[in-house]
Structure 1
């Protein structure tokens, strides 16, 4: 009868034990990572929440977080702050060709809600991101997100939002394009309240103590009546019809910003003052409606103004006198275009700083 050599038998047992340990470790690892992530979320100051599940993909150096929810808790407030259907964290293999070991994050179904008392400031978010990824983040992408500002003190609640967001930030760790003063690129698209079309494009440098940037943004063809909750609460006005566009170019260097914000409203109609029970509100809405009609560009049926932005990023200032003059320029000289002016770039910010 064939007899197994004692040393061979021991080796077989050792291999089986190691294999069993590896299998058991692989099966337990997702539970450990899930507990670890939930522990890190619990460390956020003033927030609570967690995740439901974790998927590991060791072969590509990645893991997926499923069903993330974080809620704000403060002074009796308990409302959603951040949520995501899936968060995919992985090694950015393309960057390895540049000799850098960095990570990338893809977020699917993101949902962020801000308010006066819910800004996210001081929560410890950078510490959470550092804990979730062993490497610096070089690329961040959002697929199908939503960002809202909600005023819970107003009745009804004011809810300004952008949905269907697709956003990408690349080269955050400056793996490529190292000589560029603004090495990172950011693009955002989405749909605003009132079905406006949002687009944002910019370059930035996050390695400065105060980041430098050069950005352009536009919101086109948003329905004015969708903003009535906000208009009633802060300006005591109601819109019955019309479209609004918001266009901006901003650039900053060493903490000093230059640029503008341009608002263009077309086909504006106000709600009839006969429907207003408060006589003071009716008088105010009559004055506003009359002002808009008097100072609109008649051929374009367009009311617009352009607010220059200058100063320090901590306290930028809008120059009101040029903004007021711009109303007349749009009305009686040449109608403002419904896009960016193309007049601001990063060199302008550098010259302002000098």
Structure 2
């Protein structure tokens, strides 16, 4: 029986789709290898690339990223599954964007002097290159972050387990009249069963993002930190619970906030060997303070942290880390009279807070005017 022209066209289209599906893994794998090979200072291994057309996704399997000039067998990054897909929830907002999920990922930092610990690379660049759509959502499930330093005695080790994090609305797909439309959350378990929680509101559209950060770190048993504390502050603690609270606002390169450490039931603090003098400037004030105040049931303070960064091209993460570390160290610095002065910051008179409130009100007024224009337009059309 002779087939009609329409049938032949359907057969041809089906053949093209089938051939495209068969060849797709080759071209996708080739592109993935090209992107990963372009990361300076790092080498990688990749097990497989799987494609899931029915949900607009593909996955990278068993990705390991190593630092080129290190003989360490443990990868700097290990991710069993990276899922890159269409963010279908954003389609309801008439936006075709992508989301990236890292499943059971591991990130391993080291205390080596020559190690940059990934700060020398903009890791969003390869993520954007791997995702054919603009990335609007990033998710981390059941991750692990570890820090090791084999140069200390004892070796220092600090591990965050059960790391679950997400960053959403990075492209401001969901309309928000506020000035910080994107959000991020992180939760993790620290040594000593401490609970770390971080909430962030941000505007990543700017070259140097605006951020509001709220961090809580609670109920960590310091006995589980024994090796780490021996290695850096050079102290041994028999008993104690540690808490930390921080709120930080970063706007237009200016930073204001506070950091508030709280130590409870501190007992049995003794001095030991410390890390080399040129690397322990911050730890010295911490160990001195704990030794001087170990008889107190509860130690707490609230110290302001401020910073100004004029260069908008610098990386935000290192800047933020330096600001938080400086504030943390200052919280334990001894004053001349031997006590800590309690301070507060980010009150109603704070310059940055005033700017935030002013801009938020401005955005609200703009949103109200927009809605009124739409209402007038709708009434005009109905009449």
TM-score (normalizing by structure 2): 0.74
Please state whether the residue corresponding to 1:36 is helix, strand or coil: helix
Q: Distance in 2 between matches of 1:290 and 1:73?
A: 42
Q: Show the 5 A alignment for 1:319-334.
A: 320=330, 324=334, 328=340
Q: CA deviation at 1:28?
A: 3.5
Residue in structure 2 matched with residue 349 of structure 1 by the alignment: 352
Q: Does 1:64 align with 2:59?
A: yes
The count of corresponding residues between Structure 1 and Structure 2 is: 328
CA contact (8 A) 1:84 1:108 kept: yes
What is the alpha-carbon root mean square deviation over aligned residues?
3.6
Distance 1:19 1:306, change over 3 A: same
Equivalent position SS for 1:104 = strand
For residue 226 of structure 1, what is the aligned residue in structure 2? 224
Aligned to 1:125: 123
Q: 1:25 to 1:234 in 2, by over 3 A?
A: same
Aligned partner of 2:378 in structure 1 is: none
Alpha-carbon offset, residue 261 of structure 1 = 1.4
Q: Which has the higher strand share?
A: 1
2:304·2:345 contact (CA, 8 Å) conserved in 1?
Answer: no
The CA deviation at 1:251 is: 0.7
Which range is displaced more, 31-40 or 126-135?
Answer: 31-40
Please state how far the C-alpha of 1:39 moved relative to its aligned partner: 2.9
Please, which of 301, 304, 309 is the counterpart of residue 308 of structure 1? 304
What is the deviation of 1:240? 1.5
Q: Deviations over 1:286-331 (max 9, x none)?
A: 976651235x2xxxx112233310122546454949965795568x
- For residue 220 of structure 1, report the CA deviation from its aligned partner: 0.7
Using the TM superposition, give the Cα deviation of residue 104 of structure 1 relative to its aligned residue in structure 2, in angstroms. 1.0
- Structure 1 pair 188–348 and aligned structure 2 pair: CA distance change class (3 A): farther
Verify: 1:249 aligned to 2:247, yes or no. Answer: yes
In the alignment, the residues of structure 1 paired with residue 259 and residue 286 of structure 2 have an alpha-carbon distance, to the nearest angstrom, of: 25
d(CA) in 1 for partners of 2:53 and 2:287?
66
TM-score, length-scaled by structure 1: 0.79
The equivalences for 1:103-182 within 5 A come to 103-116=98-111, 117-182=115-180
Counterpart secondary structure, 1:138? strand
Structure 1 residues 51 and 287 mapped into 2: Cα distance closer, same or farther (>3 Å)? closer
Asked if 1:53 corresponds to 2:59, the answer is: no
8 Å Cα contact 1:111-1:147 kept in structure 2: yes
Comparing 148-157 and 88-97, the one that deviates more: 148-157
Q: Secondary structure at the match of 1:194?
A: helix
1:125 and 1:309 mapped to 2: Cα distance? 28
After TM superposition, give the deviation of residue 192 of structure 1 in Å: 0.8
Q: Which of 7, 28, 36 matches 1:33?
A: 28
C-alpha separation in 2, matches of 1:215 and 1:40:
32
- Gaps of at least 5 residues in structure 2 are 275-284, 310-318, 359-383
Q: Matched residues in 2 for 1:346 and 1:182: separation?
A: 21
CA positional deviation for 1:257: 0.7
